[in-house]
Amino acid sequence: MTLASVNPATGETVAAFEEHSVDEVERRLAGSAGVFRAWSARPVAERAAVLARAADLLDAERDALGRVMTLEMGKTLASARDEAAKCALACRHYAKHGPAMIAPRAIDGDASHRGEVRHLPLGAVLAVMPWNFPFWQVIRFAAPALVAGNVGLLKHASNVPQCALALEDLFRRAGAPPGVFQVLLIGAARVESVVSDSRVAAVTLTGSEPAGRAVAAAAGRHLKKTVLELGGSDPFIVTASADVQRAADTAVAARIVNNGQSCIAAKRFIVVDDVADAFTAAFVERMRALRTGVPMLAETQLGPLATSAIRDELEAQVHETVSRGAALLLGGHRLPGPGWFYAPTVLADIPRGSPASEQELFGPVASIFRTRSVDEAIAVANDSPFGLGASAWTRDPGEAERFAQEIEAGSVFINGMVASDPRYPFGGVKRSGYGRELGEWGLREFVNVKTVRTWLVPASPSSSTE
């Protein structure tokens, strides 16, 4: 099998890589197992120093690395540069704070003993990562995992092999010993065999529901820890008290982030009747004004979709939603010419049971839902199989508290756009997955939280319960 790097703006294949052989995968698995003990035994300050050097490289090479991202998956060059900078921020965060996060913590005992909790690495963590944020998705697993003393194995999406190899080279140049961070150039069909290998301790996956189910099932058969970050159909609620024009500005940015291909992009715009007409008019006007084009150009705001299959699926979802009775306020079609471009699209009057009501639309397509009250807005927001992020716009503190408490999501942003941040936990509920990345919570997903109790004098036999 060949892994092809195809430019989404032109449809041209720019590079191709042969899949790793069985022998090469074995060599890399053995390398991970062989280096783990030495890497985990290193002082945490030395592991943190590798992350700090990786951050310096990401900053120094953000233009070149950004071009690789844009070339392989079509995000605008400006957003690709920003992605490299965000990766540097995360590496520095864990270089600075990671040692404290895994430091032993004393537990109150009594005069007879002392107790502590230690955070020890598990081993090799296999990361099955998607193409949409080809550097950020990887760094947010790798930075906490490596500083904790784990080693990383990356099975990246098959359409971004150059990004995968660039990351492997980045950690090598930052000083990670051979085997600490390695890429597996394999297709999805071979993931289960790697998951089942006894040298793999845990698995993290960001991707689709089918991929999540398959990896979780394989890991479950071998009793291995998993973290899953899956799809999202994030609500964006606008109440009568909101700053409608500011909300509309942010709504467009939140819908087209990464050319609309983000799990935490706002997708369902839930607006109360009092401001629905004003918001809809402002939103459609701003979506219509977007500059779609070649992602390498500075003036481009919206680039192509990553693959022809993604565009075909989005086109079918929009067509079916409109055929069931939705109103098409803008767009609704692919753009002519080379590449996989889709027009900015706005749908309204979304019928229940249609794709725009129940599925994740991965691309620059927004769905507007009108509601009569905040109560109904919360109900519509929660009427989804997903629960990743949510944004709510209000000037009423009581409404803000209700949104924070009642919306079923892993993140709720009040008067702001949903975004991941290395300081905060990131993940979802319901069919958006389980477990957390980032913050101290993400770091501790892949450590052995070990209880250690030391008696100062020999303990007397006593009865106990589990």
Q: Note if 263 is an active site residue.
A: yes
Report the C-alpha gap between 292 and 303 in whole angstroms. Answer: 6
Active-site residue (options: 72, 263, 315, 437): 263
Q: Note if 91 is an active site residue.
A: no
Report the C-alpha gap between 95 and 73 in whole angstroms. Answer: 29
Report the C-alpha gap between 21 and 373 in whole angstroms. Answer: 58
Q: What share of the chain is helix, strand, coil (3-state, %, to 5)?
A: 45, 25, 35
Both tokens assigned to 84: 């490299």
Active-site residue (options: 229, 360, 408, 445): 229
- Rounded (10°) CA dihedral 275, 280, 282, 284: 180
Residues pairing with 2 in the sheet: 18
**Beta strands 266-272; 113-121: pairing state:** unpaired
**Residue 418: strand, helix, or coil:** coil
Helix, strand counts (H, E) of the chain: 15, 20
Both tokens assigned to 347: 């749908």
Report the C-alpha gap between 265 and 236 in whole angstroms. Answer: 9
- Active-site residue set: 229, 263
